[in-house]
Amino acid sequence: MTDVITAEFVDLTLDAGDRQAAARSLAQRLVGAQRVTDLDGFLADIATRESQMPTGIEGGIGIPHCRSTHVTEPSLAFGRSAAGIDFGAPDGPADLIFLIAAPEGGDASHMKILASLARKLVRQDFKDTLRSIGDPGEAATFIQKEVAPS
């Protein structure tokens, strides 16, 4: 299996006014790597998932995710927003955004990634590192090491 996240899937200066724009910006990175085959179809699947329950969690975290027929392999994109983006968390906007894309009908890889990510996000040092890291390649390597299924 290839890396779930690479430097090209990382945006340390994510500039998006809302959760839809953030998802679009991060998803475009996956389209560029041919991990997502239909941007609008994938974003519709993300919107459907978001309509069921907001994907913001306390601590400034947004985790839009879904299974989609438009995804070729499990992938994770990461964005950091200085302004913050509302993902529906009770404590306010998210500055750390993780877009999880999983193939429809695939194995449980995206749930493993989501569970691993959730475990790491309770650790302040994990969040602090993500907020301070200055290079997309370093961010991808750090996230891959910390959350990718083995």
Q: How confident is the model at residue 56, as a pLDDT?
A: 92
Q: How confident is the model at residue 17, as a pLDDT?
A: 93
Q: Name the nearest CA neighbour of 112 among 77, 62, 148.
A: 148
Per-residue pLDDT of the chain (150 residues; tens, 9 = 90+): 478 999 999 999 999 999 999 999 999 999 999 999 999 999 999 999 889 988 999 999 999 999 999 999 989 999 999 999 999 999 999 999 999 998 987 667 667 777 888 889 889 999 999 999 999 999 999 999 988 755
Locus of tokens 């519709």: 44
CA distance 140 to 95: 17
Residue 65 annotated as catalytic: yes
Active-site entry in 19, 24, 35, 65: 65
Q: How confident is the model at residue 111, as a pLDDT?
A: 73
Do 97 and 26 form a contact (C-beta atoms < 8 A)?
A: yes
Q: Which long-range contacts (CB under 8 A, 24 or more apart) does 38-43 make?
A: 38/70, 39/70, 41/68, 41/69, 41/70, 42/66, 42/68, 42/70, 42/71, 42/101
